[in-house]
Amino acid sequence: MSERCAERVWDGWHQHRCTRKGTVQEDGKGWCKQHAPALAKAKREERDRKWQEKWDRQDKERAEAKAADAEVQRRADCYDDLLAALERILGPSREALEVIKALDRGEGVTGYNAKDLANAITDVETAIAKAKERA
């Protein structure tokens, strides 16, 4: 078959027939591989599927980041209670109490997040270990 592709294409100024050969028969017309309706539809669906995958991935990443932020906030919200509990538990240890009081004054705590809290716990544990060595 030597007929041209049936697609009308837009060159920016004019519409004209696609110049490629109509090698694919569909709906009683010849189409090039780019414009054959079934092939174009499959290509479009594949492209849509990839976009959907990207959007789904972004939604998942946003949800994970939001959950991580919520966890940091949850830990920050119990910071005061944790300090108070540690103070009760470590009451007899003078050095640990000093560390706790320093942390409570904000010394050694540069921000109000989970990493600082973890560092604070490490400081308290170190103080406990030192107190135990002396006992």
Find out whether 34 and 20 touch, Cβ atoms under 8 Å.
yes
Least spacing, CB of residue 12 vs Zn ion, in Å: 17
Least spacing, CB of residue 36 vs Zn ion, in Å: 8
Binding mask 11-40 for Zn ion (x = CB under 5 A): -------x-x-----------x--x-----
Q: Select 29 or 130, whichever has its Cβ closest to Zn ion.
A: 29
Least spacing, CB of residue 48 vs Zn ion, in Å: 21
In a 3-state reduction of DSSP, which class is residue 93?
coil
Q: Which of residues 53-112 bind Zn ion (CB under 5 A)?
A: none
Q: Which two tokens stand for residue 73?
A: 């906030």
The region that residue 71 occupies, defined by phi over 0 for left and psi between -120 and 50 for alpha, beta otherwise, is alpha
Sole window of 4-12, 70-78, 91-99, 118-126 interacting with Zn ion (rule: CB under 5 A): 4-12
Calpha distance 121→57 (Å, rounded): 35
Contact flag: residue 130 with Zn ion (CB under 5 A): no
Q: Select 15 or 134, whichever has its Cβ closest to Zn ion.
A: 15
Q: Which uninterrupted H or E stretch holds 77?
A: helix 37-77
Q: Which two tokens stand for residue 133?
A: 């060595």
**Number of neighbouring beta carbons within 10 Å of residue 115:** 11
Q: Which residues bind to Zn ion, rule: CB under 5 A?
A: 5, 7, 18, 20, 32, 35
